Chain A
Amino acid sequence: MSSHTRRIAVNVGAGHVPGMNAVIVGAAQAAGQLGWQMVGIRDGFDGLLYPDRYPDGGLVPLSPQLIDDLDATGAGLLGQASRVDPFHVRSVNADDLIEEVDMSDDLLARLKAAKVDAVISVVGGRGLSILYKLHRQGLQAVCVPRSIENEIAATAVSFGFNSALSFTIEMLDRVRQAARAARRIGVVEVLGAQAGWLALQAGIAVGADAVLIPEIPCDLTTVAAKLKEKVTPQRPYGLVVVAEGATFIADPHAQAKPSSLKASLSPLATGEASDHVIERSGQAADTVANRLQLLLAHEVYPLVLGPWVRGGAPTAVDRQLGIAYGAGAVRALSEGQNGVMVAFTPPSLAFVPLADAINKVRTVPTDSMFMQIASSLGICLGRAS
């Protein structure tokens, strides 16, 4: 395919991560070296599906000058759509009725009409499955893995994880200071519906007393016993980090649920104040805090970092990784790869079939180095005794 690929499109799936522009810069610069044209699709696939919405065009020519001037720490060049699924596009029919229609064939035809030879998609989770489905339908596609949770299989680190980790650590440090000053136990919920990487690595970094992750069903009586040991008159505070997907064995009714759409229903979603406040997210933190409150003499309070760790500037690691992933995706195409995901397998980049990346979750192995470190530091992981 290398000799034919002359025009590549790049797009970004739903869900913000810091520094998305870095991937675009990496891909565009690498494509430029090969003399290829690069365009960006606005808002997922919306730029192609709804070109009328974009007075300046749904496709953004990524010229060398634009790329040269682009702030690689930014994330807003192409934008994102809240729903990126051409197989289920919500539309209105001739009778003015809502329906979900399959526009995948339409999308492929529009890519062809725009003379796009291949698409580089910066996606994770659901976006990976959708890209795989499009690939099976004929799309030449390369995926750049993007995830805050770092749960995408076959790659050691997904783009976006390191920035989220850094910000989570910064916020946990603040919570820890506040808990110390207030002489309370803070329970902080962090992202991680399926995998506990963010909670565990951040918890280790800040010296949390307990870290509760989806991989280990948690016994809160064990956590309470540990806190009784650690929270003393000389050290009258504590910090518990809980991943949003943590599960609890002591009380099946207290099991927290993954909440993947909580981010889309921001606290401002209703747009107006009301006496009847809508509760969102924070179920894991609430569950832990409420149970510990009953088991401990100290005051326990829940906090939710949640989706806003997705904002801010990228870390140096993510900037490098983003540029490397973007350039790696172009290299994959130049080598004739198709239907692959660029994976970071230290010390190099590899190209993994999309089929090997979907339907798997990269969880924290129970014998992993991070688990061992946590145990050696005396961090309680909530294992039933």
Chain B
Amino acid sequence: MSTPINPAAPTGTVLNIQRYCSHDGPGIRTTVFLKGCSLRCKWCGNPESIAPKPELSYDARKCTGKKACGLCLKPPFPDGAFYVVDGDDDKVKVNWHLATACDQAMASLCPTGALEMFGKTMTADEVLNEVEKDESFYRNTHGGLTLSGGECLLQPDFSAALLKGAHERGFNTAIETAGNVPWRFMEQVLPHVDTVLHDHKLTSTERHKKWVGVGNERILANFKKAYETFPDIDFIARTPLIPGVNADEEHIRAVLAFIRPYKNVIDYELLPYHRFGLGKYQSLGVVYELDDYKTPSADLLAHLQAIIDEAFGRTPEATTGT
């Protein structure tokens, strides 16, 4: 069942549409990643989602080199944006400071796909048509649409249209948000949401600012207001655990103290820090600021999870020790 595209429908910048997701809300889901983020987390696993507009990426593995191709070394590509250094390595390199003018039209000239754009402007109907393709999975698993990012609430008109459209089609809706937006954005979008997966990254305002780029006062105020204003929404708190940054008992207990008074905050999940984003940083020419950080140990995770289980009155799961 395909819905005709309404040219007047809101448009947004979509980074990616990922089908068959199972960790972004109940059931089988399609997760739509929107571009643009209002935080600058040093551990960000999706650096391509930070800038609000589509941007160039380069995958050197796909480049066939100057001799075999060399298209990007000539007009219309910006002067100096691409180059080859002397020596055996024939592959093109990118001067990211001079390549900022590259757009979709230029990227599409790359015959091997080494150059491509992260992000695409789409209408809400175009996205919903894509989401509809897995309708049968949603019905059987109580799944549906999840908006993620970046920060999906930074595109409130687009997000509200997508979530409303999903509801109209009978799909469950969820969003992933860090909450650092004006309250009016949240107020506009949340009426169309069934589940909110929201981050509590750091407790201390000063340390939040250091690691994430901004203080957490507005974030905490927004979540508190959201818990109170939307009692029918299921809220699930989350913390991306980074050893040396926030993977400690003090932070976990502080988050629990914040969320436990609210019955509609139904769970608190820990997301162990991973380094999957590293390759993406290299593709974007962005320097990864947490290059050498460790992932949290299994023992630490089990310890922190036990604290959460206790707070939620659950029996801790048996650990296998593997």
Contact = CB atoms under 8 A, between A and B. Distances in A.
A191 to B, nearest CB: 16
Give the interface size class of chain A.
35 or more
A129 B97 contact: yes
Contact of B38 (A85, A98, A277, A359): A98
B38 to A, nearest CB: 4
Given A97-B180, A355-B80, A274 B87 contact: no
A53 interface: no
B1 interface: no
Contacts of B290: 265
B289 A132 contact: no
Interface in B12-66: 38-40, 51-52
Contacts of A232: none
B221 to A, nearest CB: 12
Contact of A283 (B100, B243, B245, B292): B292
Nearest to A282: B292
A97 B289 contact: no
Contacts, number: 90
A280 B39 contact: no
A270 B245 contact: yes
Contacts of B51: 100
A92 B207 CA distance: 18
Given A132-B80, A259-B291, A359-B80, A270 B98 contact: no
Given A270-B244, A278-B293, A97 B154 contact: yes
Contacts of A95: 181-182
B152 interface: no
Interface in B268-317: 287-294, 296, 300
Interface string A259-295: 1111011000011001011111101000000000000
Interface residues of A: mostly helix, strand, loop or mixed?
loop
Contacts of A92: 214
Nearest to B247: A276
A129 B52 CA distance: 24
Contact of B244 (A126, A278, A283, A358): A278
B85 interface: yes
Contacts of B294: 276-279
B244 A129 contact: no
A259 B290 CA distance: 10
A265 B210 CA distance: 11
Given A97-B181, A279-B293, A261 B288 contact: yes
A363 B79 CA distance: 23
A374 B30 CA distance: 59
Contacts of A261: 287-289, 291
Contacts of B97: 85, 87, 126, 129-130, 133
A174 interface: no
A129 B98 contact: yes
B292 A98 contact: no
Contacts of A126: 97
A360 B86 contact: yes
A228 interface: no
A257 B80 CA distance: 25
From A90, A95, A276, A277, residue with most partner B Cβ within 10 Å: A276
A69 interface: no
Nearest to A274: B244
B230 interface: no
A109 interface: no
B100 A265 contact: no
A28 B85 CA distance: 36
21 contacts: A85-B97, A90-B40, A130-B97, A133-B98, A259-B292, A260-B287, A261-B287, A261-B291, A262-B292, A276-B243, A276-B248, A276-B296, A276-B300, A277-B294, A278-B244, A278-B292, A278-B293, A279-B294, A280-B291, A358-B80, A360-B83
Given A85-B97, A90-B40, A358-B98, 14 more contacts: A97-B180, A98-B38, A98-B213, A129-B97, A132-B80, A261-B287, A262-B292, A271-B207, A276-B300, A278-B293, A278-B294, A355-B80, A360-B85, A361-B85
Interface of A: 85, 87, 90, 92, 95-100, 126, 129-130, 132-133, 257, 259-262, 264-265, 270-271, 274, 276-281, 283, 355, 358-361, 363
Interface of B: 38-40, 51-52, 79-80, 83, 85-87, 93, 95, 97-98, 100, 154, 180-182, 207, 210, 213-214, 218, 243-245, 247-248, 287-294, 296, 300
